[in-house]
Structure 1
Amino acid sequence: MAASSPLPPITLLPASAPDFYPIAALEAHVFYSEEFSAVAFGPTRDSRGNLLLREKTLASQPKEKGSKNVITKAVILKESGEEELVGAAGWSFHLTREDGVVNGEIGEEGIGDGKGEKKENGWGEGANVKLCEDVFLGAEKHIARSTEGRSYAKLNTLVVSPEYQRRGIGKLLIEDGLKEADRLGLQAVLGASKEGLGLYKKYGFTEFEVMEVRLWEYEGGEGMGLDRHVVMHRPAVK
């Protein structure tokens, strides 16, 4: 196998409004072929309408006082001055909580790997609402248990362009978010697919709850297999 060409310098920058639609499109491209994505978000998951909905969600902020969502983009800066988007990460920092509940209800954000952050009636056209509720809202309950009512940081999405994967970009994005979590003295949580478990464990995350999803039991998942979503927890670094 030929060696990979040297990777141009990667720059991490705060994402702003013009970046959210391209990030939504990158997520749809990266996860399109996954069985879970196909069943959860349906055959029109990469339609313009669904990408616009995702764009709106990426731009949203938590309702709870003192908390924030942060989206970071990884780009290659070309000689022309243009940016090539090669990855992105979305973190939420929840700084005020009571009894494990955010503003009296389950938090709105989804779990990591770019598959969450959608509310009931807002999962997108063609989505399997039952599956989305079972997985994403179910994961939120496990996250609430793992954080025990204390402030926390959560990785909501991590995505890297396929042609640039396995070249350290995901690590840069994770380390950038954890640096802020550690600065704030926060524990961290995320939801991982089986492909991401090894990477997250390197940064001190441990498995808190394993959710086994029998895709064949959901409409649109006939003939498909078992999918695993793992809620992971990392203690605050003092």
Structure 2
Amino acid sequence: MSLEVSPISPSDLEATVGVWMAAFEEGIGAALMNPSDPAVDFPRHVSHLQKDLKEDKENILRIFKCVDTATGEIAGIAEWHFYLREQTDEELDKHLERPKPGDDSYRECDEVIYDWLKGERRKDMGNRAYIYLYILAIRPQYQRKGVGSALLEHGLQQVDEFGLESYLEASMQGKPLYERFGFRVVNEREFDMTVFGKEGTDRNATMLRPAKTVAP
């Protein structure tokens, strides 16, 4: 299978969200991406993505697609946030803002997830410059076929050009892939999924990759 990684285009937004929602069928990813009804969640995610890209004046958001060249289908998506300078306290608060009561995506049960995700990132990275892998999503039929590796390799080549640390949150299924690319666990947390109307528990990790410099 031949794969090609490139930036998404405006015409890819709906397909991008489609990959997100298909990829996260379990755990806290599903709780946040697929909380209710696809007919409601899908247009909400598309609208939020359009808004985020429109308001991104500093080119912080960089979203890449991995395409199966034989079919033209988008097999996976990686969204990176490039914080290339130290952030002010106000900027940090904005980047770590979470849904509030009254927002269309707010659910009280999600607060425990956001408290951990946002709180750990604030504690681990603070105001300093770094690059954040917000989401790596792969269609189920393309998982374990090199799509995640292709997206990570492409993104980390750009990360290393800036000589910055990179940070992410990972499921236990994704953790071995990230470890192969130099990420190491900072902390782990187990979530009770019955709070979200699902069975069992879901364990997640925060991970950090040290800065690397590219030889001249």
TM-score band by shorter chain is 0.7 to 0.9
Q: Aligned with 2:188: secondary structure? A: strand
Of Structure 1 and Structure 2, the greater helix share is in 2
Shift in alpha-carbon separation, 1:64–1:146, aligned structure 2, 3 A: farther
Quick one: which amino acid aligns to residue 30 of structure 1? A
Q: CA shift at 1:13, angstroms?
A: 1.6
Residue of structure 2 aligned with 1:58, choices 43, 49, 60: 49
Q: Could you say which residue in structure 1 is the equivalent of 2:64? A: 72
1:1-238 alignment runs, 5 A limit: 7=1, 9-32=2-25, 34-37=26-29, 39-40=31-32, 41-44=34-37, 46-47=38-39, 49-59=40-50, 60-61=52-53, 66=58, 68-78=60-70, 83-98=72-87, 101=89, 103=91, 105=93, 107-108=95-96, 119-120=99-100, 121-122=102-103, 124=105, 129-216=107-194, 218=195, 220-221=197-198, 224-238=199-213
Which residue is equivalent to 1:114? none
Deviation digits for residues 178-214 of structure 1, max 9, x if unmatched?
Answer: 1111111111000100101111111111111212211
In the alignment, the residues of structure 2 paired with residue 28 and residue 38 of structure 1 have an alpha-carbon distance, to the nearest angstrom, of 8
Q: Structure 2: 5+ residue runs without aligned partners? A: none
Equivalent-residue separation in structure 2 for 1:89 and 1:214 (angstroms): 27
Secondary structure at the aligned position of 2:91 is classed as coil
Instruction: Compute the RMSD of aligned alpha carbons.
Output: 2.6
Contact 2:28 2:113 in 1 (8 A): no
TM-score, length of structure 1 as denominator length: 0.77
Q: For 2:11 and 2:54, locate their aligned partners in 1 and report how far apart those are by CA, in whole Å.
A: 20
CA deviation profile, 1:123-146 (whole Å, cap 9, x unmatched): 63xx6x233222134212211222
Identical positions, percent = 25
Report how far residue 39 of structure 1 moved.
4.5
CA distance, structure 1, for counterparts of residue 86 and residue 31 of structure 2: 33
Q: Which amino acid aligns with 1:90?
A: E
Describe the shift of the 1:67–1:84 C-alpha distance in structure 2 as closer, same or farther (beyond 3 A): closer
Deviation at 1:38, TM superposition (A): 5.2
Question: Structure 1: 5+ residue runs without aligned partners?
Answer: 1-6, 110-117
* Amino acid across the alignment from 1:190: L
Contact 2:35–2:41 (Cα < 8 Å) also in 1: no
How far did residue 63 of structure 1 move? 6.5
Paired residue total? 210
Change (3 A) 1:192 1:38: closer
Alpha-carbon spacing, 1:123–1:166, altered in 2? closer, same or farther (3 Å): farther
Secondary structure of 1:182's partner?
A: helix
